[in-house]
Copies of this chain bind each other. A is one copy, B any other.
């Protein structure tokens, strides 16, 4: 747990961090510093401009997430630099924080896989964008920053009338939902499905897309959310309960599709609830993040809990097992073009008024800790968005030592204190013990 106690860095230290990032092998495509020294950047290096960013200082809990000043990114060929207006928070960010996603750079690095904004610089070889274009971007990391350099292939134009918050909420969630339903699930009018985390961003996107073609949705969510969700989900099931009997009551033969982002024991339950010709799709493994810091143990446990399946069993039962992982598709399998086509379809549905993202809440960068905790506790309904232009919430009168950026240095000496710029205090202050208990109950 040494990483958790990594000190907040000063501005000077942040520059050093940036240089440390250079040798990270996986940062190649979008490394903000790699253009330095190749003669293409403007000669303004000495007093490099700075920007605010959400930095992970080490894998672990909320304390590892700090708001820091970082040098502005430099532009490489094939990239654009975006002035960020809104950032999407995804469950993967929580997993990244705990180091539960492979191929991340060494900490410290800027978090975030999703943002929207305006193009401020266009690199060599980029044809499809010009300065001033409004876009969403899915960088491999580093989205939660005032400025971000992203390979143009992972940047998609957004139409007039779509605001930045909605655009950020439309990208990952609706791309995932669209692929699950129409590309992999191939649902038809009259199909039925079970959906995990029905209240989350993807869950709400799936529910909306299902309404466009009359698909029945059984949605699993915490009991406390049922009241709020009953307008969007046909049949609500209680998270953590053995809901098989309830599903069979409505749909004795089972369902056509099971969308699982939880993994673990849900795998076999979901599989057994499938109709003949039914499909199970694993599109997340949030069980892996069950607590603040016990990621590695619980990841391993989760992994072994999942039954392996023989293709011959699928053959005997006329069933299908699928996996979908947008991050791997974009950054390890080079399928940006495919993803761009899906996003076009999503935008088409948005233009036709058939989908409208549900925004749970928007947060200042400084409140990212609280936002993450809300998602971790599954208290959100719809998308959680970060907005770098927002002022942080006023903090409760706890002994916070300093609020200005100059306070960073002071905090270095107080590692046991919460964290820089109020990043995480409110969420962490609110009885983590109770939350742990909740989680244990949920995952049992």
Contacts and interface: CB of A to CB of B under 8 A. Distances in A.
A121 interface: no
Interface in A301-325: 303, 306-325
B309 A318 contact: no
Nearest to A284: B315
A254 to B, nearest CB: 11
A312 B303 contact: yes
A277 B329 contact: yes
Contacts of A338: 277
Contacts of A184: 277, 320
Contact of A320 (B308, B313, B320): B320
A335 B283 contact: no
Given A315-B282, A316-B328, A328-B316, A321 B333 contact: no
A372 to B, nearest CB: 22
B311 A309 contact: yes
Contacts of A309: 308-311, 321
Contact of A328 (B186, B308, B311, B318): B318
Contacts of A293: none
B318 A314 contact: no
A222 interface: no
Contacts of A320: 184, 320-323
B276 A333 contact: yes
Contact of A321 (B303, B306, B311, B329): B311
Contacts of A178: none
Nearest to A270: B311
Interface in A167-198: 183-184, 186
B283 A329 contact: no
B310 A314 contact: no
A285 interface: yes
Given A323-B320, A338-B277, A310 B315 contact: no
A314 B308 contact: no
A164 interface: no
Contacts of A276: 328-329, 333, 335
A381 interface: no
Q: Which of A277, A313, A314, A315 has the most CB of B within 10 A?
A: A315
A252 to B, nearest CB: 12
B316 A325 contact: yes
A221 interface: no
Nearest to A263: B312
A282 B312 contact: yes
Contact of A285 (B303, B308, B315, B325): B315
A67 interface: no
Contact of A325 (B318, B321, B335): B318
A54 interface: no
A270 B222 CA distance: 40
A314 B321 contact: yes
Interface string A265-277: 0010000000011
Nearest to A260: B311
13 contacts: A263-B315, A276-B328, A276-B335, A277-B338, A283-B315, A285-B312, A307-B310, A308-B310, A311-B321, A312-B323, A315-B325, A316-B325, A318-B325
Q: Can you list the 9 inter-chain pairs with the closest CB atoms, starting with the nearest?
A: A314-B323, A315-B323, A276-B333, A308-B308, A320-B322, A282-B311, A282-B315, A308-B310, A321-B321
Interface of A: 183-184, 186, 263, 267, 276-277, 280, 282-285, 303, 306-325, 328-329, 333, 335, 338
